[in-house]
Chain A
Amino acid sequence: MGITNKTLTAQSKGDAPTARPPSKKTAVVNWLPLLPFFLFAALFLFLPSISIFVRSFESVDGGFTFDNIIALFTVQDFVNAYKTSLTISVITALGGAVFGFLLAYAVILGGLPKGLRTFMTTFSGVASNFAGVPLAFAFIATMGNAGLVTRWLESAFEIDIHAGGFTIYSITGLSIVYMYFQFPLMVLIMAPALDGLHREWNEACANLGGTNWHYWRYIAFPILLPSLLGTTILLFGNAFGAYATAYAFSGSFINLVPILIGAQMQGDVLFNPGLGNALALGMVFIMGISMIGYITLQRRAARWLR
């Protein structure tokens, strides 16, 4: 088994089309194996999502109304929520992408001991899902008013990080918290892409007299760019939809769209599911656009990952 696998894999990587043209069977038989998957998706993904769309037009007493959708654009609170959500998502997507990439590069191509790569990838697997109350508490316990680092800085260096008006309960603070699952997600997704950078390319470049800078500028980055951009978009979506962490951290005190949705669908004060659904629809729309961008970029990236 071992020899067969390695030989076949070394000779022909990826499923590039072979010499003969692909068979044109569009018979039903070809679609059957895909049926369970799409049926499941229809039942548990598409239908409920459509219900979001439908229920956005529901008023509090069950009638039909455009008020909810209109409110998305007219109520200052909602507009601000979208603005804040977008801001945080962009900041953490870019920040997460940059440092996440550097981290992935460091452990994979940076000449560090092999064990560190395994350490980082397994850690990223856990950290990318570490969210909600435990994450919020961890950061409050670190950098909050009575945090470990806060107290240490004060006692050891007499630096009061709150003196300049810095507080962790701000967009800046929340962004720092969000990075905890953004960096690992970047590492996890970029690792295979970095693996795909054949060593031969680096050597060929050196052979032709190029420096490391040339390698990166003309070979590696252009190849990685679609993956990088695509993953950044993924990080954007990840941050935009984050609810548990934001709520555990600052409740509704920072104005974010998922928090608003939660307030409308749960809790004992507000209750307008139609509005909640409308807000969600806005979210779906924004994410939908970013996903289209992601898919386009991924197609370009796939070309090079053979």
Chain B
Amino acid sequence: MKSKNIWAWIILIIGLVYFFLPLLATFEFSLKMIKDRYTFEAYRVAFTDRQFYLNFGYSFLWAMLTIVISLLLVVPTAYWVHWRMPKMRPWVEFVTLMPFVVPAVVLVFGMSRLYGGGLKLFGTPILVLTGTPILLIAGYVVLSLPYMFRAVDTGLRAIDVRTLTESALSLGAGWRVIITQIIFPNLRTAILSGVFLTFAIVMGEFTFASLLYWPAFGPYMEEIGAMRAYTPQALAVVSFLLTWGSIGLMQWIGRGSVQEVTAAH
């Protein structure tokens, strides 16, 4: 056991050095806004920019929408597939893997052509969605599908869906009770982890927002990154810490559920 420990520590330390050096370098640079001194000036300036709050707010709102839609799409589907139609699982999984296969930059062009007047029914364009954030949210949901599904799927596999559902049904529980009081609580950690990954994805997403011209946080970061020095680095540090903090918070809220009990060694 002891020797296993040493190797584990060595690997961990190598990993930590690799991950934290670049963050440190960014942080160190962000402190240099005023010449020859270390100062938090860059952070102060970054937060006085009205655009920052606007764009962050928009992205936050869209992240919430994406999370809700993604959950509504994925959880019932995954549950149904696990309980009633296990043969469909590979197909559902295939769909959720497609976002890895098709690059975002081309998907967005396909979408904006198709739903910007490209679909024609008897010569008149239908489903013109450009100009609404629908395409953007749809894009976000597509991007988050692999993570959301995988999280919920893993969660569903760790609990015996069939037995739980059938015993609940045989005890006279209605569907509402089953969903809200049996399935969801057991999937709490899984759902939370999916939610947080989705949140991280949407807040940092650039391609869709930039090419569809929506004032999201991702394009804002790229823009100031190209036009300013010091403040973009300050923002990068802040957004990294914020996202990490949120994920940590969710982990803390979700602790003590079934998954952790069964996973404990």
Residues of A within 8 A of B (CB): 1, 5-6, 8-10, 12-15, 18, 22, 30, 33-34, 36-38, 40-41, 43-45, 47-52, 55, 99, 102-103, 105-107, 109-112, 116, 118, 120-123, 125-127, 129-135, 137-139, 141-142, 147-149, 179-180, 183, 189, 192, 195, 199, 212, 234, 237-238, 241, 243-244, 258, 261-262, 265-266, 273, 276-277, 280, 283-284, 287-288, 291, 294-295, 298-299, 302, 305-306
Check if B109 sits within 8 Å of A265, measured CB to CB.
yes
Ordered by A's residue number, 8 sampled pairs between the chains whose C-beta atoms are within 8 Å are A43-B138, A118-B248, A122-B248, A126-B200, A129-B204, A148-B24, A243-B105, A273-B109
A245: min CB distance to chain B, Å: 11
Complex CA distance for A103 and B15, rounded to whole angstroms: 7
Residues of A within 8 A of B212 (CB): none
Is the pair A283, B103 in contact by a Cβ cutoff of 8 Å? yes
Report whether A148 and B103 are in contact in the complex, using a CB–CB cutoff of 8 Å: no
Choose among A18, A241, A302 the residue that contacts B103 (Cβ–Cβ < 8 A). Answer: A241
B206: interface (CB < 8 Å): yes
Whether a CB of chain A sits under 8 angstroms from the CB of B178 is no
Interface residues of B in 1-52 (CB under 8 A from A): 1, 4-5, 7-9, 11-12, 15, 18-19, 21-26, 28-29
Report if B68 contacts A (CB, 8 A).
no
Beyond A133-B221, A148-B24, A241-B100, whether A45 also contacts B95 by CB under 8 A is: yes
Q: Which of A50, A138, A265 has the largest count of B CB atoms less than 10 A from its CB?
A: A138
B-side contacts of A37, CB under 8 Å: 73-74, 77, 92, 95
B106 touches A111 (CB 8 A): no
With an 8 A cutoff between CB atoms, is B117 at the interface?
no
Q: Is B130 engaged at the interface, CB distance under 8 Å to the other chain?
A: no
B21 near A149: Cβ-Cβ < 8 Å = yes
CB contacts under 8 Å to A, within B246-265, are 247-248, 251, 258, 261-263, 265
Q: Are B248 and A265 in contact (CB under 8 A)?
A: no
Option from B18, B163, B197, B226 in Cβ contact (under 8 Å) with A8: B163
Q: Max chain A CB contacts within 10 Å: which of B8, B111, B150, B156?
A: B8
Contacts of B98 on A, CB cut-off 8 Å?
41, 45, 49
What range describes how many residues of B lie at the interface?
35 or more
Asked whether, in the complex, the Cβ of B105 is within 8 Å of the Cβ of A262, the reply is yes
**What is the minimal beta-carbon distance from B173 to any residue of chain A, in angstroms?**
12
Which residues in A have their C-beta under 8 angstroms from that of B200?
125-126, 129
Bound together, the chains give a CA A36 to CA B150 distance in angstroms of 18
Complex Cα gap A43–B95 (Å): 12
Q: A8-B160, A141-B233 are in contact. List 18 more A-B contacts (CB 8 A).
A: A12-B163, A14-B157, A15-B157, A36-B76, A109-B265, A110-B7, A111-B5, A111-B8, A112-B12, A125-B247, A126-B243, A132-B218, A134-B221, A139-B22, A237-B100, A280-B105, A284-B102, A306-B157
As a 0/1 sequence over residues 233 to 249 of chain B, the CB contacts with chain A under 8 angstroms (1 = contact) are 10010001001100110
Interface residues of chain B, those whose CB is within 8 Å of chain A, are 1, 4-5, 7-9, 11-12, 15, 18-19, 21-26, 28-29, 72-74, 76-77, 80-86, 88, 90, 92-95, 97-107, 109-111, 113-114, 118, 138-139, 141-142, 150, 154, 156-164, 167, 181, 185-186, 193, 196-197, 200-201, 204, 206-207, 211, 218, 221-222, 225-226, 232-233, 236, 240, 243-244, 247-248, 251, 258, 261-263, 265
With contacts A133-B221, A142-B25, A295-B94 taken as known, whether A237 is within 8 angstroms of B101 at the C-beta atoms is yes
Q: Which of A111, A132, A276 contacts B4 (CB 8 A)?
A: A111
Min distance, Cβ B217 to any Cβ of chain A, angstroms: 12
Give, as a whole number of angstroms, the nearest-CB distance from A234 to chain B: 7
Contact across chains for A34 and B88 when beta carbons are under 8 A apart: yes
Most buried by B among A102, A109, A294: A102
Looking at chain B's contact residues, the main secondary structure is helix
Chain B residues near A14 (CB, 8 Å)?
157-158, 160
Contact B244 A49 (CB under 8 A): no
Given contact pairs A112-B9, A132-B222, A179-B18, A44 touches B141 in the complex (Cβ within 8 A): yes
The answer to whether A30 touches B103, judged by C-beta atoms less than 8 angstroms apart, is: no
Does A243 lie within 8 Å of B207, measured CB to CB?
yes
> Min CB distance, B116 to chain A, in Å?
12
User: Which residue of B84, B90, B99, B164 contacts A45 across the interface (Cβ within 8 Å)?
Assistant: B99
Q: Whole-angstrom distance from the CB of A213 to the nearest CB of chain B? A: 12
Taking CB as reference atom, which chain A residue is nearest B12?
Answer: A106
Name the B residues within 8 Å of A306 (CB-CB): 157
Contacts of B193 in A (CB 8 A): 125
Q: Is the CB of A33 within 8 A of B262?
A: no
Q: How far is the CA of A102 from the CA of B76 in the complex (A)?
A: 35
Q: What is the CB-to-nearest-CB distance from A79 to chain B, in angstroms, rounded to a whole number? A: 19
Q: How far is the CA of A262 from the CA of B29 in the complex (A)?
A: 30
Q: How far is the CA of A287 from the CA of B232 in the complex (A)?
A: 34
State whether B100 touches A261 (Cβ < 8 A): no
Nearest-neighbour CB distance to chain B for A42, whole angstroms, equals 9
Residue on B nearest A243 in the bound complex, by CB:
B105
> Which among B5, B84, B156, B233 is the interface contact of A30 at CB below 8 angstroms?
B84
